[in-house]
Amino acid sequence: MARPALVAAPTHRREKPPAAPGSAPPTAERATLEDLFAAESPQPLADAFPGKRAVHPFIGMDPVPEGTVPRHWDEIYRSPRRNRGVAYIHVPFCENHCLFCGFYQNPWSASVGPPYVDAVIAQLESFARSPAHDGPPLQAVYLGGGTPTALASPDLARLVMAIRRCLPLVPDCEITLEGRVQSFDCDKALAAFDAGVNRISVGVQSFSERIRRPLGRRAGTAGVISLLESLVGLDRGAVVVDLIYGLPQQSPEDVAGDVRLCAQLGLDGLDLYSLSLIAGTPLLSAIEKGKLHPAAGSSLGTYFAAGEEAAMAEGWSAISTTHWQGSLRERNVYNLAVKTGADCLPFGAGAGGFLGGFNYRITADLRDFAVRAGSGTCLTAAMMRATPAAPIHNALKSGMERGRLDTVAVDAALARVCGSEAASFSTHATPLLAQWSRAGLLEPYHRFHRLTRAGRFWQVAMTGRLITWLRQHPDLGDRHGRPDS
């Protein structure tokens, strides 16, 4: 599950969808240290905080005046890139709208595929002619959506070949194709692998038909297993899946069974995400009408623990607080990069990205995109600009995402932003980190503060609170941009 944050649109699967409803931590203007403390309870998985919550996608961002957007677009595309980067290719079509999904944009039909791929290739070729093509080679490319595997094999292959032709890629670039079982088979997978894909991510969510069917997942358990066995049997690249816990009719043992099955199938990795109840989705509507009943928020930690325990029992390793590695073939490069401050070049209608300190979204209007994709002109109507404190936020988020907060790295970023005389983050955050340790969320590990199982479950809520407290650092002043509200 992976998408960069989007401007004026739902967040990309990447940065992650909004978490289940719950109490947000106080904003910077009214937070006291005690406001950010965790409950000290024998059951921190259930009781540490009032509710799970996503880190605001625009922390460390300021809105750009609408009239200056084209000028800023020109500036970032007329200059060589300087930061590490990845690319995101958006395919905004789906055969049906799954109940839980907040990213549905356009219905799929076979006729829309070829002209859409033509337009994306035109944008890629235009980028290849721009000065922004020069810079550090890209570490990963993610073809997401929507449903990229809805594309016919020839269109999918020529899109991947255009990516390899037009983008500057490191030799071991991770190229991920996101897919759904109902539109995917071995022939299409071979076409993708032959074109240059080396990682396939399949949205499974649950292997259980009684759980899948009410969510709009049409493929049955046997079909899901058959496809995954075939992909693994090809032995051409990493095969990973997305799993969700907290779904209606799901038990913690269901989650553990799904993880064990991933290991038995020989998969290379899995994402394990909490169910996100997103405004406007059919799932939330069905829940509000009493037709479906997800897991209670207070019990979600039990689901997380069941999945993590099963992964550990199978000998899998945690790459991040939500991603598990089953073999050394899996690296999860793209997901980690977009969550920790890398530039992300966006291609395709509705794609979100970050370049040159600006967050923006390519026009989602298919006709508008088709007309202007190869023109080199501004393809967005809105932008957000990173504030000076963004590198500090990124250093903090990077450690928390990996499950071990590195205050040395945060202090180094703070010194770069505020000067070497700035008070350390370590000192500023010590009372909060000490209280979280007493609450069972952190433990010492060499120079790091390592997250316990409860800490990994509450990682997003903890990261939001750390950034809230960081806003009150005495040397940062107004470098944070707009409040996290």
Q: Is residue 24 part of a domain?
A: no
Q: Are residues 109 and 244 in the same domain?
A: yes
Residue 322 is classified by DSSP as: S
Domain end (from 277, 311, 339)? 339
Query: Beta-carbon neighbour count of residue 41 at 10 Å?
Result: 13
Higher pLDDT, 407 or 55: 407
What is the pLDDT confidence band of residue 282, given thresholds at 50, 70 and 90?
confident
Q: Are residues 194 and 330 in the same domain?
A: yes
Q: Are residues 106 and 45 in the same domain?
A: no
Question: What's the total number of domains in the chain?
Answer: 2
- Of 17-26, 88-97, 413-422, the range with the lowest mean pLDDT is 17-26
Q: Is residue 363 part of a domain?
A: no
- Whether 447 shows a pLDDT value over 70: the answer reads yes
- Whether 4 shows a pLDDT value over 60: the answer reads no
Q: Are residues 144 and 46 in the same domain?
A: no
In this structure, are residues 151 and 113 in contact, taking their beta carbons and an 8 Å threshold?
yes
Q: Which range scores top for mean pLDDT: 21-30, 61-70, 254-263? A: 254-263
Mean pLDDT along residues 121-138: 98
Q: Are residues 45 and 106 in the same domain?
A: no
Q: Is residue 449 part of a domain?
A: yes
Give the pLDDT confidence score for residue 28 in this predicted structure: 45
- Across the chain, which distance is largest between two alpha carbons, in Å? 62
In this structure, are residues 205 and 217 in contact, taking their beta carbons and an 8 Å threshold?
yes
In this structure, are residues 123 and 165 in contact, taking their beta carbons and an 8 Å threshold?
no
Whole-angstrom Cα distance, residue 211 to residue 399? 34
Q: Is residue 45 part of a domain?
A: yes
- Whether 315 shows a pLDDT value over 70: the answer reads yes
Distances from the Cα of 24 to the Cα of 46, 51, 54, angstroms:
16, 7, 9
Q: Are residues 192 and 266 in the same domain?
A: yes
Mean pLDDT along residues 447-473: 95
Amino acid at 57: P
Instruction: Tell me the percentage of the chain whose pLDDT exceeds 90.
Output: 75
Picking from 472, 462, 398, the residue whose alpha carbon sits closest to that of residue 436 is: 462
Which of 63-91 are b and which e, b meaning 16 or more Cβ less than 10 Å from the residue's Cβ? Answer: ebeeeebeebbeebbeeebeebbbbbbbb
Query: Beta-carbon neighbour count of residue 104 at 10 Å?
Result: 19
Give the pLDDT confidence score for residue 58 in this predicted structure: 52
Q: Is residue 4 part of a domain?
A: no
In this structure, are residues 348 and 91 in contact, taking their beta carbons and an 8 Å threshold?
yes
**Residue-range definition of the domain harbouring residue 421:** 34-53+387-470
Which of 264-290 are b and which e, b meaning 16 or more Cβ less than 10 Å from the residue's Cβ? Answer: ebebbbbbbbbbbbbeebbbbebbeee
Mean pLDDT along residues 231-254: 97
Picking from 128, 104, 454, 46, the residue whose alpha carbon sits closest to that of residue 462 is: 454
- Whether 242 shows a pLDDT value over 50: the answer reads yes
**pLDDT for 332-348, tens place per residue?**
999 999 988 999 999 99
Mean pLDDT along residues 435-464: 97
Domain end (from 323, 339, 355)? 339
Collect all residues with Cβ–Cβ distance below 8 Å to 229 and sequence separation of at least 6: 265
- Of 216-220, 248-252, 350-354, the range with the lowest mean pLDDT is 216-220
Whole-angstrom Cα distance, residue 437 to residue 463? 15
Collect all residues with Cβ–Cβ distance below 8 Å to 475 and sequence separation of at least 6: 414, 418, 419, 422, 423
CATH value at residue 462: 1.10.10
Q: Are residues 48 and 94 in the same domain?
A: no
Query: Beta-carbon neighbour count of residue 22 at 10 Å?
Result: 14
What is the pLDDT confidence band of residue 82, given thresholds at 50, 70 and 90?
very high
Whole-angstrom Cα distance, residue 57 to residue 484? 9
Mean pLDDT along residues 384-398: 93
Give the pLDDT confidence score for residue 52 in this predicted structure: 60
Q: Are residues 267 and 315 in the same domain?
A: yes
Q: Is residue 365 part of a domain?
A: no
Q: Is residue 380 part of a domain?
A: no
Mean pLDDT along residues 172-191: 95
Picking from 62, 37, 65, 59, the residue whose alpha carbon sits closest to that of residue 50 is: 37
CATH value at residue 322: 3.80.30.20
Mean pLDDT along residues 316-325: 97
What is the pLDDT confidence band of residue 54, given thresholds at 50, 70 and 90?
low
Which residue is listed with tokens 């899998």?
Answer: 316
Residue 3 is classified by DSSP as: B
Q: Are residues 207 and 279 in the same domain?
A: yes
Whole-angstrom Cα distance, residue 204 to residue 470? 37
Whole-angstrom Cα distance, residue 284 to residue 215? 11
Higher pLDDT, 238 or 54: 238
- Whether 61 shows a pLDDT value over 90: the answer reads no
Picking from 114, 182, 116, 119, the residue whose alpha carbon sits closest to that of residue 153 is: 114
- Whether 353 shows a pLDDT value over 60: the answer reads yes
Q: Which range scores top for mean pLDDT: 109-113, 220-224, 304-308? A: 304-308
In this structure, are residues 455 and 462 in contact, taking their beta carbons and an 8 Å threshold?
yes
Q: Are residues 284 and 142 in the same domain?
A: yes
Q: Is the peptide bond before 348 cis (omega within 30 degrees of 0)?
A: no
What is the pLDDT confidence band of residue 105, given thresholds at 50, 70 and 90?
confident
Alpha helices in 9-130 (DSSP H): 44-47, 69-77, 113-128
Q: Are residues 272 and 410 in the same domain?
A: no
Q: Is residue 352 part of a domain?
A: no
Give the pLDDT confidence score for residue 11 in this predicted structure: 30
What is the pLDDT confidence band of residue 280, given thresholds at 50, 70 and 90?
confident
Give the pLDDT confidence score for residue 26 in this predicted structure: 46
Give the pLDDT confidence score for residue 60 in this predicted structure: 67
Q: Are residues 260 and 328 in the same domain?
A: yes
The sign of the torsion formed by the CA atoms of 105, 125, 78, 86 equals positive
Give the pLDDT confidence score for residue 108 in this predicted structure: 84
What's the mean per-residue pLDDT of the chain? 89
Domain end (from 280, 305, 339)? 339
- Whether 281 shows a pLDDT value over 90: the answer reads no
